[in-house]
Amino acid sequence: MHVTKPSSPSEIVEGSSVTLTCSSDANPAANYTWYKKNQPRPHGEGDIYRFTSISSEDRGIYYCKAENKHGEINSSSLFLNVQYGPRLPSVSVSPSEIVEGSSVTLTCSSDANPAANYTWYKEDEDSPTASGQIFIINDFRAEHSGSYSCEAQNNRGRSNSTFHLTVAGAWRLITVATVPVFFLAIVLVSGFLWIIKKRSSKQPPESPDTGEQMQPAGPEDGLHYASVLFSKKQRDPVYSNIGSAPPGRPERETKEEEQEETVVYAAVTFNAAASRTRGQEAAEDPAGLYSTVNEKRNL
Q: What is the CA radius of gyration of the chain?
A: 60
Higher pLDDT, 253 or 65: 65
C-alpha dihedral, 217 to 221 to 227 to 228, nearest 10°: -160
**Sheet bearing 117-122, strands edge to edge:** 130-131, 117-122, 146-154, 157-165
pLDDT in tens, 112-157: 999 999 999 998 888 999 999 999 999 999 889 999 999 999 999 9
Between 289 and 31, the higher pLDDT residue:
31
User: What's the pLDDT tens digit per position in 236-294?
Assistant: 444 444 444 455 554 554 445 445 444 444 444 444 444 444 444 444 444 444 444 44
The domain made up of 2-83 has a fold known as: Immunoglobulin-like (2.60.40)
Average pLDDT over residues 76-84: 92
Give the mean model confidence (pLDDT) for residues 158-162: 95
pLDDT in tens, 95-117: 988 888 899 999 999 999 999 99
Report d(CA 100, CA 30) in Å as an integer: 72
Give the start-to-end residue ranges of the domains of the chain.
Answer: 2-83, 90-170, 223-284
Round to whole Å and give the CA distance between 80 and 23: 18
Kindly write down the DSSP assignment for every residue of 190-216, as one continuous string.
HHHHHHHHHHHHHSPPPPP--SSPPPP
On the question of a common fold for 2-83 and 90-170, the answer reads: yes
Question: Does the structure show a pLDDT above 50 at 25?
Answer: yes
Work out the mean pLDDT of the chain and round it to a whole number. 73
The letter for the amino acid at 224 is H
Number of residues in the chain: 299
At residue 200 the predicted structure's pLDDT band, cuts being 50, 70 and 90, is confident
Q: What is the pTM of this model?
A: 0.52
pLDDT of 59 above 50: yes
* pLDDT of 266: 46
- Letter for the amino acid at 81? N
Give the residue-averaged pLDDT of 48-59: 93
Q: What is the pLDDT of residue 124?
A: 85
Q: What mean pLDDT is predicted for residues 149-178?
A: 76
CATH number given to 90-170: 2.60.40.10
Over range 177-185, report the average pLDDT.
Answer: 57
